[in-house]
Amino acid sequence: MQLDPRTLFTVLVTLYACLGFVCLFLPYRMQGSHAVSYWGWGMLALALGSAGIALRGVVPDLVSIVAANALILGALLFIQASASQGRALASYAFAWAVLGVSTLLIAYFTYVQPDTSARIVVSSFAMALLIVRPVLTLIAAVAGASRRARLFTAACLSVAGLLMLGRGMSALRSGAITDLHAPNAVQFAVILLFGVCAVLATLGVVWMEIEQLQADLARLAMIDPLTGILNRRAFMLEYERELSRCARERTGLALTIFDLDRFKDVNDTYGHLVGDKVLRGVAERLRASLRGHDVLGRYGGEEFALLMPGADTAAALAGTERVRLAVGAQAIQAGALSIPITVSAGVAIYGVNGSDWESLLRSADAALYEAKRGGRNRVSAAQAMPAEAGGGAPA
């Protein structure tokens, strides 16, 4: 059976072009990062370069040799940008230098001292060298989202790089290749396997994008969109986690419920848009005043909930008082408006004021009611388990 490299390159052109268009289409459907887009442009550059090689002998050598190899090497710059999550192409000085030097050497071995083997050595080693950076970038980022996809893509690129390295070493040793389109089992196999690696690596990049989007969706499902802190569902999950840890380590756990004083007046006077800005400002001040391991969430409306792991009554009261002072220290700016805001807070300790979430929350709510009734802008500690039926706190 005769192996026809020209036919192989023609098939690869179609394959790379399809992969490129699919990748360029995905970001608009998935609203993902630039990683897939850059990979798509890389596949299209690879398709154009392979088309030039397939047309060798039909079009001028400037197109089929020099430009074709430059496009294939340029494709690896797009792949490097993809691995770096969309970093600007102009920032890859070393990669541009490799591309430029390699293109000049290929032109030299085309026009000044024609040597097909030398061109294969230059292009193969340059490709292997340009693949190193995206592989290292992918491996360095495996601690974040899409870990498995990154490792898979890095493995595919590593195999492609090793194939190019082997191809260059083979051409360097033999030095007898005079026509790239002449049947050659080794060259045919390497180019075919490189195409397989390109397909698998493209699947890896799409996999990376999907996993990243899943991570983003999971994060958005846990975050209150207005204030940027945990929503009620996420806060309850953190409560269960902290409760388990505190039970295991035999440490305390305090719950504080904050409520903005007279927030209804803000909405009635200035409107809900200003009210939203006030809520965001309060959330920022709450978050800035917490310890590193405290857990803050928006429990509903103008109420915020705070978990303080390891805190007893005294520590919880001191921490809550610090937060209260930080919120009311100065007015919150909402455009040209300067709106003074204070908070009232109720503090309850797990195991002292409640043995489960419902009883703990009732204790904190009862303490919050006492703070409101006592004049607002103050902190109150739960003294005893509240009755089952209790009134709501005043605004």
Judge if 187 and 317 occupy the same domain. Answer: no
Examine the fold and report which residue of 222, 250, 271 is the final residue of a domain before the chain moves on. 222
Judge if 252 and 300 occupy the same domain. Answer: yes
Q: Is the model's pLDDT at 333 over the cut of 60? A: yes
Is 279 within a domain? Answer: yes
Is 117 within a domain? Answer: yes
Residue from 209, 238, 302, 370 carrying the catalytic annotation: 302
What residue has token string 């709106």?
Answer: 339
pLDDT single digits (tens) 131-162: 999 999 999 876 666 788 899 999 999 999 99
Is 152 within a domain? Answer: yes
pLDDT single digits (tens) 343-361: 999 999 998 898 889 999 9
Judge if 137 and 254 occupy the same domain. Answer: no
The pTM for the full model equals 0.69
Is 387 within a domain? Answer: no
The pLDDT, as a whole number, for residue 258 is 96
Q: Is the model's pLDDT at 316 over the cut of 70? A: yes
User: Which amino acid belongs to residue 159?
Assistant: V
Whether residue 302 lies in the annotated active site? yes
The pLDDT, as a whole number, for residue 388 is 45
Which residues constitute the domain of residue 360?
Answer: 232-381
pLDDT single digits (tens) 119-135: 999 999 999 999 999 99
Q: Is the model's pLDDT at 273 over the cut of 90? A: yes
Q: Is the model's pLDDT at 1 over the cut of 80? A: no
Is 303 within a domain? Answer: yes
Judge if 239 and 216 occupy the same domain. Answer: no
Q: Tell me the percentage of the chain whose pLDDT exceeds 90.
A: 62
- Compute the C-alpha angle 226/229/231, nearest 5°: 80
Which tokens is 303 given? 């109420």
Of 39-53, 62-76, 84-98, 362-376, the least confident: 84-98
Judge if 277 and 242 occupy the same domain. Answer: yes
- Strand pairing class (379-381; 295-300): unpaired
How many domains are there within the chain? 2
Examine the fold and report which residue of 195, 222, 249 is the final residue of a domain before the chain moves on. 222
pLDDT single digits (tens) 184-212: 777 788 889 999 999 999 999 988 888 87
Cβ neighbours for 395, distance < 8 A, ≥ 6 positions apart: 261, 262, 263, 264, 265
Judge if 314 and 196 occupy the same domain. Answer: no
Q: What is the CATH number of the domain that holds 348?
A: 3.30.70.270
Judge if 208 and 243 occupy the same domain. Answer: no
